[in-house]
Amino acid sequence: MRITSFIWPSLVATIAVAAGISADYSLHGLAIVAPSLFFFYPEKVASWLLVLAMTAFAYALPQLPALLAASTLLLLPALSLWFNPDRHPHVKYLLGAVMIAMFAGMMALQSEAKLGGSPWLLALQIVALLGVWLAIIYWPGYQPPRHGAWLVLPILAVTVGWPSALWSASIVAMIWLLQWVGMTPHFARSRHLALHVLPGIPFLVITWVAPWQLTMSLLVAWAAMLAAIWVGEYLLMDDPDDE
């Protein structure tokens, strides 16, 4: 059996583990920044973008409800549609309007103390996701984890606790596996679908692990964004009859 057949299950498992830990434990900022050190190459723009994004996450993520933070991950597939030059602009505008309206609604609920965290922390989380997206765009092929960085994990386990260390290890594994997906022709057809499926897994896992975090307003906002992304993807698909 090909080793590539284990990559998708392993990738889903690492995402689920990271989401489950974030639902049950308060992550330490050092553990959130640590995964970027594994792939830090000073001469690469993507490495700097990832460090900056993870630094922003380190400040915002511990102060936001885990489920609210997970809902913002849908920004990544939305960006993949917005920045595709072959897609129709009218559908992009509609998708953008839905995403902006939902995030603005979340911030309004935070201002009224109906959702946890503060609006500016949610805005910082969104900016961090933009940094992650730019890091993906500028990622220079395969970058293996730096060998010396593995020493960070036992240090984290001792200083900030094993859940945070395990979360860091899961994120490192996720980035590593995503690189395999990106460089393996075998996954060419499934990459685009994966970009639309994987960001929704943390929300579902956290809802299952910590259902008390789920509110009707958050569920409606997340479902509306997910529906807009999938409908937008369906409307933007190339028609085979046109080729």
The total number of structural domains that make up the chain:
1
> Does residue 171 sit within a domain?
yes
Helical residues (DSSP H) of the chain, grouped into ranges: 7-24, 29-38, 45-60, 66-71, 75-82, 89-111, 119-137, 152-159, 162-183, 191-197, 201-209, 216-236
Q: What CA–CA distance (Å, rounded) separates 141 from 143? A: 6
> Does residue 243 sit within a domain?
no
- Inter-CA distances, 83 with 10, 137, 178, 231, Å: 29, 10, 20, 17
Which range marks the domain in which residue 9 is found?
A: 3-237
What's the whole-model pTM score? Answer: 0.89
> Does residue 201 sit within a domain?
yes
- In tens, the pLDDT along 7-31 reads 788 889 999 999 999 988 888 999 9
The average confidence (pLDDT) of the chain is 87
pLDDT at 138 over 70: yes
> Does residue 167 sit within a domain?
yes
Average pLDDT over residues 52-80: 94
pLDDT of residue 241: 44
> Does residue 242 sit within a domain?
no
> Does residue 154 sit within a domain?
yes
> Does residue 141 sit within a domain?
yes
Confidence category of residue 240, pLDDT binned at 50, 70, 90: very low
* Percentage of residues of the chain with pLDDT beyond 70: 90
pLDDT of residue 93: 86
